[in-house]
């Protein structure tokens, strides 16, 4: 019998299938896991790489949480943009959870659009919101694991383009996550940040973390790890650290 439920929220440009090794390990270690694809990504229906509003993600996460056994503790695990989805869901809806784990949360983007492109994006967001631009993601930027890099290059479910609306909503959600930082509930929090992150600004992760008023919070940076801590060659080290956090919550 599972001791708790973990709801896993994947990041931008990717899909839940990239974490099959993690799901398998979590289930082996006694956890129920709920992990599906976010709207516009993976095997979901509709236009790929596009959302109407960032709240589309929040509502989807709330539906996933409804699938969990109400008699068991529930934890949220969000990676990158999935971490931002978790943050905004907790700020807006304040669902009851036993703890939160954020993996390299997207609270600041490196190598974002230039100022002229930002202005063009705002114009297109009004008149042509579905217009798509190339994704900045390259497999070599998120992990040093050669097997994952090779797999990602052959993965047809990885997004190569996203809409202007998606980009604007993403940036807006980051700003709100900081603006409404006091709305983040007092829940046990573990933030695991890649030390060699080429995708998100780890300084912004640290800044947001220190504004959170959770009584129990841990910030752990992993030197030498690229963005996807749980897809790195030494991902099990981060996994075992995460397990200690989960066990601590379950054992009171």
Q: Is 197 a catalytic residue?
A: yes
**Residue 31: pLDDT above 70?**
yes
pLDDT in the model for residue 115:
56
Rounded to 5, what percent of the chain is helix, strand, coil?
45, 15, 40
Q: Name the active-site residue from 32, 56, 152, 197.
A: 197
Task: Evaluate whether 52 touches 26 at the Cβ level (below 8 Å).
Answer: no
For 200, which DSSP code?
B
pLDDT in the model for residue 119:
63
Domains of the chain: 4-250 (3.40.50.1820)
Mean pLDDT, rounded, for 13-27: 96
Q: Name the active-site residue from 80, 104, 121, 163.
A: 80
Q: For residue 135, what pLDDT band results from cuts at 50, 70 and 90? A: confident
pTM of the predicted structure, to 2 decimals: 0.95
Task: Evaluate whether 189 touches 211 at the Cβ level (below 8 Å).
Answer: no
Q: For residue 121, what pLDDT band results from cuts at 50, 70 and 90? A: low
H or E segment at 90? helix 81-93
**Residue 12: pLDDT above 80?**
yes
pLDDT in the model for residue 130:
85
For the stretch 137-194, pLDDT in tens is 899 999 999 999 999 999 999 999 999 999 999 999 999 999 999 999 999 999 999 9
**Residue 118: pLDDT above 80?**
no
Q: How many CB atoms lie within 10 A of CB 223?
A: 7
Mean pLDDT, rounded, for 222-234: 97
Q: For residue 252, what pLDDT band results from cuts at 50, 70 and 90? A: confident
Mean pLDDT, rounded, for 7-34: 97
Question: CB-hemisphere CA count at 13 Å for 191?
Answer: 28
Mean pLDDT, rounded, for 128-136: 81
Q: Name the active-site residue from 15, 50, 79, 227.
A: 227
Mean pLDDT, rounded, for 114-125: 61
**Residue 123: pLDDT above 60?**
no
Q: Determine the Cα–Cα distance for residues 73 and 67; give it in Å rounded to an integer.
A: 13
Mean pLDDT, rounded, for 220-225: 97
């Amino acid at each position: 019998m599972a001791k708790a439920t973990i709801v896993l929220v994947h990041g931008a440009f990717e899909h839940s299938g990239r974490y099959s090794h993690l799901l398998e390990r979590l289930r082996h270690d006694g956890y129920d896991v709920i992990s599906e694809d976010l709207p516009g990504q993976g095997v979901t229906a509709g236009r790929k790489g596009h959302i109407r509003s960032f709240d589309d993600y929040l509502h989807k996460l709330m539906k996933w949480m409804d699938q969990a056994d109400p008699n068991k503790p529930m934890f949220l695990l969000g990676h990158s943009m999935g971490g931002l989805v978790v943050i905004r869901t907790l700020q807006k809806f304040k669902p009851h959870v036993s703890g939160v784990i954020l993996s390299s949360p997207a609270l600041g983007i490196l190598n974002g659009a230039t100022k002229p492109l930002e202005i063009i994006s705002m114009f297109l967001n009004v008149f042509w919101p579905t217009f798509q631009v190339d994704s900045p993601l390259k497999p070599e930027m998120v992990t040093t694991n050669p097997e994952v890099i090779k797999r990602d290059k052959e993965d047809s479910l990885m997004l190569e383009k996203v809409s202007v609306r998606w980009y604007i909503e993403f940036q807006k959600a980051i700003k709100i996550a900081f603006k409404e930082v006091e709305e983040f509930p007092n829940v046990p929090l573990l933030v695991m940040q890649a030390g060699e992150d080429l995708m998100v600004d780890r300084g912004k992760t640290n800044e947001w973390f220190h504004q959170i008023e959770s009584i129990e919070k841990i910030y752990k940076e992993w030197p030498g790890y690229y963005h996807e801590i749980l897809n790195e060659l030494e991902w099990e080290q981060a996994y075992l650290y995460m397990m200690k956090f989960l066990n601590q919550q379950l054992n009171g």
